[in-house]
Structure formats: C-alpha cells, structure tokens
Structure 1
Amino acid sequence: MMTKVLLTFVATIVLYYTYKLLFGKCNRFEICRITLLTMSVFAFVFPFISIEISKPLPEYFLTLENIEILNNNNVNVETESVNNNSLSFLQIISLVYIIGVVISFVKIIFNIYKIHKIKIGKKLEIIDGFKVIYTSENHIPFSFFNNIFIPDNTNPLILKHEMSHVRHRHSLDIILMEIMISFQWFNPFIYKMKKELQGLHEYIADNETIENETDKSNYMMLLLQQCTADNYNAIANNFSFLLTKKRIVMITQKQKSKKMVIRMLLTLPVFALLILLNTQCDNPKPQNQVRGIDVSTEYDVESDG
C-alpha cells in the first residue's frame, strides 16, 4: 500500500510542474480545468496501471568449492531482530497515514454539515432553478452544488458569478480534490493542485459573468470591495479574492487557443513515463535462477560442544 502512496506522491510533483510549465500562462480556462483534473486523477490511478514484462531467465550452473559452515545462531538472532524492527517502523508509518486519512474524511463530512446547517431558518428563494439562501452574516458569497449562499442586498453580478459555479458543477471538482487530498494529506503538491483548480473556477465564472457586460470596471470594483468579507467554508465554491489581482488581469485578456493541441500532446509522454516507472516497481529485476549445482569439496562444520 505505501508503495502506491509514494508513487502517487511522486506523480503529483511531476504532473504539477508539467501543468505549470505547459498551462501556467494559458487563458483557455475550461481546457486547463479538464487537464488539471485529468492529471490529478491520473496521479491516483496510475499506481494500479502496469505493463507486465516477462523475460526468459538465464540458466546458470554453479560450482561450490571449499565451503565452511559455521555456527551462525547469533547471526540469525540479530537478523531477525533487525527485520522485526523494520516491520514495526513500517507499521507505525502506515498507522499514522491511516489516521491522517480518517481525520481528513471527518473534516470533509464536518464541512458539508456546516454548509447544510446554514440553511436552517434562512430565507430561501428559487431563482432560475437555483436555490438562493440569504444570510445575514458578512461573508464571501459561495455556492455548494445547487445552493448559493449570499448576504442580503448582494449585487446581481455576484449572484450571476455564483450561478456560473453551479452551472459548471465546480462543487464536484472540489469534492473530488478533497477526497484525493484525504489520501495525500501530507503532500503539499496536491494542495497546490487544488489551489490552481479553484483559481480556474474563478476565471471561468468571471468570464461568464462579464460576457455581455460593456463596462467591466464595475465588476472589477466589486471584486475589490469584497476583499474584506470572511471566507466561510473550505469545500464550497467561494467567491475567492485571494486571487483578486490575477483575476482582474485575466478579465482584461482575450482568450487564445495558440498551440493548445501541442501542449496537450506534450503531456502524453509524461503519463507514459509515470506508467513505465510503476511498471519497473511492479516488475523488479528477476534474480538469476540456478538450475544445477555441482558441489565438490569438503565441509568443515564448527559447532559448540
């Protein structure tokens, strides 16, 4: 099990930097979103993908001469002691890992519970098929699946932004990333992938919100005004302003599709190399087989007594 966990750790590092190199400055956000999700899922799936390699094993004849067999009882005891210590250390590491996974899943469940608890006693309105819950708290508007949580008197553009999150099912992306984080809770690169994905969600929603707006400056001012509000929940699609500066820059840029196909094709060799790495781990170099043994000589046995 721990081997597959380690392989996933290595894969997230490789794929994260591959994404940053090929797509870090790309403004085709939906394509980047699909690519990043594919890379993230692949990092967890590829340890279970391997190509079986079978090679004929060479045959050797071995001649043993002048073998002296000593009393090695003490050596055996020391070896067994070392093996037992190594096994205990691995068990401890596995136990710590499992505890971390359980705690991470508990956090997901708790955050979902917090979101559903907000709806109790709050004003609910159905707008264009979306459930809009009005809260009295001063928090950043956010959405979770078909539910949109906004303070009273929220600007319609902000509501339109959250509707875009719901329409593109961004909550599914976040839940998927949170599950993967649970299995790699110690891995900083899976958190970086989540942050990149959340940024893409905001860029997609921003572009859709201002698509038919002639004056984009009004929307950009709204982004700046919301910076003082509180971020309510880690697993919701928050109207995030940590990326405010970059979002404003992205709003002013036009989307380009230059060399997108080439970039996507360049990811394929990386996937292939990772599968090859897993294949090497699953198919270690076989030991040479000994078919015949020609033993000639004497045996000097030393023993106590």
Structure 2
Amino acid sequence: MGTFLVYILKSAVCLAMFYLFYRLLLSKETFHRFNRMALLGVMLLSCLLPLVKVTVEQASPVNAQVMSMEDLLLMYQWNSEAVVVEEGSRPFHWQEVLVLVYFAGLFFVIVRHLWSLGRMLYLIRHSRCERLDNDIRLVVHRRKLAPFSWMRYIVISETDLKESGHHILVHEMAHIHYCHSWDLLLAEACAWLQWFNPAIWLLKQELQNIHEYEADEEVLRQGINAKEYQMLLIKKAVGARLYSIANSFNHSSLKKRITMMIRKKSNPWARA
C-alpha cells in the first residue's frame, strides 16, 4: 500500500506542475484542438511518469528529501509485519489513517459519479427518444434542464427544441462528433484517483471549457449568426445543470465563451 501512496503523490505533483505550465502558456490561446490534446496528454503523462525510474550517481538535496518522504510511506509495508503487537494493544501508524482517508474520499467520488450517471440514464430511459442521422438519438423531455449531450445522445426539453432547436442541436452534435464524452470519462477516472488534488478539478473544468469553445466554433462555422447565437447563450445561462459527466449547453463561463468567439486567432508559432 505504501508503494501505491507514493505513486499517487508523485502523480499529483506531476499533474499540478503540468497544469500550471498549461495555465501560464496555453490557456488563453485559440488552439482549441491543440489545447485539448495538451490537457489529455497532461493526464496521461502524470499517470506514466511516476512509473519511470531515473538513476543518478549522487542525489541532490531535493532528491534526498523526496527519497526520505518515500521511505516514510514505504515503511508502512514492512512496519506492520515487523512490529510485534502485544495482546490487547495495537500500535498507531499515521500511514493507516492516510490510507483510510484516501479510500474514503475515493469511495465518495465514485458513488457521486455513479449517482449522476444513474440519474442521467433514468432521464434518457423515461423520455421520448428519436433517431437522428449517424445513429444519434434525440431525447426529448419536459423538465427544466439545460440541453446536454452524452455519448450518442442529445437530451433537450420540448420548450428548447421548439424555441431554439436548430442552434442547440448543431452545438450538441459537435460535442458528439468530437467525442467529448470520452474525454470526460478519462478526466473522471483520473479525478477518482486524484480527488484530493485541486489541479485535477481545475483541469477537468478547463477541458470542459475547451469542449464548449470547439462546439461554439463549429456552430459559427455552420453559418449561424454570431450575435443571435450569443444571445441564445445568455438566455440559457441560467438553466440547471445536473450531470457532471455530460456536455451541457450552458456549461462554462458565458463571458469566456463569448470572448473566445471574438478573439483574434493565435499565431500558429505559439504552439511551439
């Protein structure tokens, strides 16, 4: 268990450092596809880099500090076996408390995710469903929820479908076309393991923002009037969002989305 804790902590440090560099260098650029790949790469690298072992001839002061912290966590593995426990008593190990707290948090976020998924699937199953092009399913309901998409499903209320159906469907179909739901599943799985790390929640928020930028860009590319579409976003900004694992139409800061639509395209060399 000590080895697992060391891996999780190393992964958390990598994730926080990479996300910080992203915020400083890329977050304000208009390379939505590139930024999306960068954030996905951050999650994957943060999971893989702690598994890489680097050997040096002489440890630096920083390396020595890290190694001493690792030893404290790894002692949990052999301490529990080496210490002879007297009858009726049991030694206290702070590592055990750390493990219990970690798995309690892990259990909570998994249950919350499954609860959200169950509510969403219940709504889809108990609503009117129609088949659109490319095997996309349109789910129409009567509740006051913001339109959203998940996998091959677009979920929208009857009122939204009648008032602004075309604009919303183009937006949500862009989410499906770009496979944004798979990104959110990966981010959610990473958030399970890194639930204590603020960087993963900020990264997930940033990833969802990029999803909206990509979908908004596709809407404008389809020839829909920008001012008309922006007014629709303002109108729908107050709708309820209940499903964290879905791409909601009114997700993200309205100001950020409108600013990104009118922002001048970044210089291609900024990717370097």
Q: CA RMSD in A?
A: 2.1
Matched residue, 1:105: 110
Task: For 2:198, give the aligned amino acid.
Answer: P
CA distance, structure 2, for counterparts of residue 6 and residue 179 of structure 1: 16
CA distance, structure 1, for counterparts of residue 224 and residue 10 of structure 2: 49
Matched residue, 1:273: none
Question: Which of these residues, 171, 193, 197, is aligned with residue 187 of structure 1?
Answer: 197
CA distance, structure 2, for counterparts of residue 9 and residue 232 of structure 1: 28
Task: For 2:26, give the aligned amino acid.
Answer: F
- CA positional deviation for 1:241: 4.3
Matched residue, 1:146: 152
Matched residue, 1:301: none
Q: TM-score, normalised by structure 2?
A: 0.81
Q: Residues 121-270 of structure 1: matches in 2 within 5 Å?
A: 121-129=126-134, 130-153=136-159, 154=161, 155=164, 156-213=166-223, 215-262=225-272
Q: Which structure would you say has the larger RCO, counting Cα contacts within 8 Å and 6 or more residues apart?
A: 1
Given that 2:239 and 2:250 are in contact with CA atoms closer than 8 Å, whether structure 1 keeps it comes out as no
Task: Tell me which protein shows more helix as a share of its residues.
Answer: 2
CA distance, structure 1, for counterparts of residue 270 and residue 257 of structure 2: 21
Higher Cα radius of gyration:
1
- For residues 234 and 87 of structure 1, do their structure 2 counterparts lie closer, same or farther at Cα, with a shift above 3 Å needed? same
Q: How many residues are paired up?
A: 236
CA distance, structure 1, for counterparts of residue 167 and residue 216 of structure 2: 10
Matched residue, 2:39: 36
Q: TM-score, normalised by structure 1?
A: 0.72
SS in 1 for 2:268: coil
Which stretch of the first structure deviates more once superposed, 154-163 or 106-115?
Answer: 106-115
Q: Which runs of 5+ in 2 are unaligned?
A: 59-82
Q: Indicate whether 1:47 and 2:50 are aligned.
A: yes
For residues 99-157 of structure 1, the C-alpha deviation after alignment (integer angstroms, 9 at most, x for no partner) is: 22122222222222111111223111112221010011111101110011001142111
Given that 1:111 and 1:234 are in contact with CA atoms closer than 8 Å, whether structure 2 keeps it comes out as yes
Q: Which runs of 5+ in 1 are unaligned?
A: 56-79, 263-305
- CA positional deviation for 1:86: 8.4
SS in 2 for 1:259: helix
Task: Tell me which protein shows more strand as a share of its residues.
Answer: 1
Task: For 1:160, give the aligned amino acid.
Answer: V
- CA positional deviation for 1:85: 9.0
